[in-house]
A and B are shown apart, each in its own frame.
Chain A
């Protein structure tokens, strides 16, 4: 049965493992090492400084600011995206007014359209929204003026008080469709007889939603929250395109961007990788939470 086993193992693993070791494993390993140096990037020696970079980070107001922005993203983006995603998914799948198990008319069309923004490459989304937020030619200001709300017009990305919220808006806009589809899949996997039993017991539409559908979706929602959290930690492309230097007065600076600018613009490679190490710890924490929650099964058996 195992004839030729050793040969195929060596043959099939040699190239991919080499590639992976050189381009993925080794940079990650080096990053941890570089974070302990004061390397400026283009010199041969990398002076070892221990945990100096991390100590400097703790006293760096810019770092705390970026971290706070990431913290805000970590809470607001999942909260809004999941709320909207659940709301639309519920309407599309169990919102039909007749038989409860059905969605409203046109569900397939809606879920297709909602997914569209999610499918766009992030940079395209970012450039598109750069146009929408543009004070001169932008759709948003033009739209507000058209409906008589011209007073609300803003320089959306230029005003430090609204810039971060403008970016959050884009993240939510692009994300909702994915979660509508994800929650729809989860809702459809709930056996129909549970809904039928509830209807026989006299449960209304709203009761069915809050007492049956949402509790059964708890696990999916938890995973979605953590997934969105990781995503928000790493919203690099969107932030780099919409606010290349960290926004007006650094009002939209996030950790991944601070890392990139510290390394490739200021030449503080050691310091930059220290930011990366902290960012990774946060990501790992989120991932550990994902595995923790997805292992736990819901208490309701079906």
Chain B
């Protein structure tokens, strides 16, 4: 049965296509126009060049993180003679990367949790109910995406200062959340509008409260949307530099991006370059790991906001 021609036929076009894609070694000349093998070869060469441009700087940083300081000043293409894992220990403790890392975790996860809960509450109310001022509220949030944050920086500095929150985790969490709300509300409002309401209405007739419907029915149904926005916000918050550099004035509370930038600007000739490379790698690892795990979803999540 399994060897009958009928069973194998569906795979035939696929096999034919992939063999002709292999370029110069193609075995189906009737499908390939003259010159195509050469063109395919050039295509692959160009693609490979950009792949190298994208990865070599990262690999170089990774390898440099294992060199000692004298090797760093040698040939940049040379592998380290001994792999100095102690650079990472020095970066973590002496160069404070460990503290910066923990600060970042606290601020990012605090703000992420708050953004997701507050953002979905606003979006749900705006998507499901019409009430006086609902459109005004929606457009006020949407308008927040249009202005550059740097414009708000000066007054924001004094507001946060007057609230006594300058250089505090709470201050950073609240500010990150406030500036993540516009996109979160914008995206989730349109998402909640697409969700079916029949289940929620049935629950309401059964006597469930509006809040219970939101938390027990609508939030679980909105999981895919929440995840997309969650990833978007996570990357944005891990990436944040402008807000902490102005508002996070206490060095002990520095986040990674801020700490790394300040370390690199203090570098002179006697500086501990290897530790700085190691710090760079430590700071990049969580984001790259997340990307490799959720690659498809991240690419889709980041582009969806633009195609809408």
In the bound complex, what is the Cα–Cα distance between A137 and B273 (angstroms)?
A: 10
Question: Does chain A have a CB within 8 A of B238?
Answer: yes
A15 and B125 alpha carbons, distance in the complex (Å):
13
CB within 8 Å for A97 and B36 given contacts A27-B159, A234-B150, A283-B146: yes
User: In the bound complex, what is the Cα–Cα distance between A284 and B238 (angstroms)?
Assistant: 26
Q: Mark B173-195, 1 if CB is under 8 A from A, else 0.
A: 01101110110000000000000
Would you list which residues of chain A between 79 and 105 have a CB under 8 Å from chain B?
84, 87-88, 91-92, 95-99, 102, 104-105
* A123 CB within 8 Å of chain B: yes
B50 lies within 8 A of A185 (CB): no
A237 to B129 Cα, complex, angstroms: 40
Could you tell me the dominant secondary structure of chain B's interface residues? helix
Do residues A9 and B129 form an inter-chain contact, with CB atoms below 8 A? yes
Among A51-59, A139-147, A156-164, the one that faces the other chain is: A139-147
We find that the number of chain B residues with CB closer than 8 angstroms to chain A is 108
Most chain-A CB neighbours within 10 Å: which of B54, B131, B174, B295?
A: B54
**CB-based nearest B residue for A5:** B129
**Per-residue CB proximity of A16-60 to B under 8 Å, as 1/0?**
110110111111101100100000010000000000000000000
CA distance A178 to B43 in the complex (A): 20
Task: Tell me whether A114 and B179 are in contact in the complex, defined as CB-CB below 8 angstroms, given that A3-B204, A263-B154 are known contacts.
Answer: no
**Which residue of chain B lies nearest to A119 when distances are taken between CB atoms in the complex?**
B291
- The answer to whether A25 touches B73 (Cβ under 8 A) is no
Quick check: B241 and A123 within 8 Å, CB to CB?
Answer: yes
Give min CB distance, B186 to chain A, whole Å.
Answer: 13
Q: Is B235 an interface residue (CB 8 A)?
A: yes
CB-CB under 8 A for A31 and B22, given A124-B280, A173-B53, A227-B306: no
Task: Flag whether B106 is at the interface (Cβ < 8 A).
Answer: no
Report whether A91 and B47 are in contact in the complex, using a CB–CB cutoff of 8 Å. yes
Q: Can you name 5 A-B residue pairings with CB atoms under 8 Å?
A: A9-B129, A19-B118, A97-B40, A236-B242, A272-B154
Interface presence of A250 (CB below 8 A) = no
Counting CB contacts under 8 A, is B148 at the interface? Answer: yes
Bound CA span A22–B21, Å: 58
Determine whether B245 belongs to the interface, using a CB cutoff of 8 Å to chain A: yes
Q: Give the complex CA separation of A273 and B153 in angstroms.
A: 9
From B51, B144, B152, residue with most partner A Cβ within 10 Å: B152
Contact B140 A104 (CB under 8 A): no
Would you call A72 an interface residue if the criterion is a C-beta within 8 Å of the partner chain's C-beta atoms?
no
A176 sits at the interface (CB 8 A): yes
User: Using an 8 Å CB-CB cutoff, how does the interface string of B95-108 with A read, 1 for contact, 0 for none?
Assistant: 00000000000000
Q: Which 10 A-B pairs have the closest CB atoms?
A: A98-B20, A142-B76, A276-B151, A123-B257, A23-B178, A27-B152, A30-B155, A27-B155, A97-B36, A237-B241
CB < 8 Å: which of B23, B246, B295 contacts A112? Answer: B295
Residues of B within 8 A of A110 (CB): 47, 50-51
Cα of A7 to Cα of B25 in the assembled complex, Å? 70
- Using Cβ atoms and an 8 Å threshold, which residues of chain A touch B121? 12-13, 16
Q: Find B151's partner among A31, A113, A143 (CB 8 Å cutoff).
A: A31
**A177 CA to B279 CA in the complex, in Å?**
25
Interchain CB contact (< 8 A) of B148 among A7, A19, A283: A283
Q: Knowing that A12-B122, A234-B149 touch, tell me 8 more A-B residue pairs with CB under 8 angstroms.
A: A1-B201, A13-B137, A20-B140, A95-B40, A121-B238, A121-B241, A136-B73, A146-B75
Given A8-B210, A88-B50, A120:B284 Cβ within 8 A: yes
- Chain B residues with CB below 8 A from A224, complex form: 306
Binds B, one of A61-69, A126-134, A190-198: A126-134
- Chain B minimum-CB-distance residue to A236: B242
Expressed in whole angstroms, the Cα–Cα distance for A91 and B48 within the complex equals: 12
Distance, CA A117 to CA B181, complexed state (A): 26
Assembled-state Cα–Cα distance A19/B72 (Å): 48
Closest Cβ of chain A: how far from B243's Cβ, in Å? Answer: 10
Point out the residues of chain A lying under 8 angstroms from B277, CB to CB: 131
Closest to B60 in A: A139
Is A252 positioned at the interface, with any CB of B under 8 Å from its CB? no
Interface: B225 (CB within 8 A): no
Q: A13-B125, A98-B32, A173-B53 given as contacts; is B307 within 8 A of A186 (CB)?
A: yes
Chain A CB within 8 A of B4 CB = no
Interfacial chain A residues near B146, Cβ < 8 Å: 283-284, 287
B303 to chain A, nearest CB (A): 5
